[in-house]
A and B are shown apart, each in its own frame.
Chain A
């Protein structure tokens, strides 16, 4: 079945440094939808950005990601981390067939310190 892999469980950064959170996926379908959801402490997850277009950069709130179907990747990046970016980040996959299942990765906790 479909799967999403986030290799880092915890990423710790100093404010101002660049952020990169890794996400790779597996699906047999050729047109998947990829999502990044962010969950701040004691809140519910909310969408950060999503994409289904190969090799097109998607940006929102200073974060960006590019879906690369050739490498099955959808890494999340930001040029300069802020303290408020500290949160749990989930990469997620919908297979693009119009179904009703979303597969979430195991999540990466980002901690930004002064």
Chain B
């Protein structure tokens, strides 16, 4: 059974629209993260959460908003989508903090037209 679930697997959106990427982890971890990977940039850290609190934000744009309704959920809302947002978005989790191994979900591949 998958331990980190990301929905949807693929997503096509139009420029200017808004989408929510879903992430749930069943590893019992306390920390969750979002990363972005595109052809232009390698794996890029976006956010980290611990016990539903934002711990670090390396995303310059406020169009990206993480949302945590439960300890094992960390969704990513993206507003006013741009073609440059096209990427694979990975959710990850670790037991406690960034010193622990990160376990990555399967990713959501977003294409903005």
Contacts and interface: CB of A to CB of B under 8 A. Distances in A.
Given A44-B104, A46-B104, A101 B45 contact: yes
Interface in A35-80: 35, 37, 44-47, 50, 52
A45 B45 contact: no
Contacts of A104: 42-45
A50 B101 CA distance: 8
B91 to A, nearest CB: 9
Contacts of B48: 100-101
Interface residues of B, number: 23
Contact of A52 (B42, B45, B97, B99): B99
Interface of A: 33, 35, 37, 44-47, 50, 52, 90, 94-96, 98-107
Interface of B: 31, 33, 42-45, 48-50, 55-56, 58, 90, 97-99, 101-107
Given A37-B102, A45-B43, A100-B56, 18 more contacts: A44-B107, A45-B102, A47-B103, A90-B42, A96-B99, A98-B99, A99-B98, A100-B31, A100-B33, A100-B97, A100-B98, A101-B45, A101-B48, A101-B58, A102-B98, A102-B102, A103-B45, A107-B42
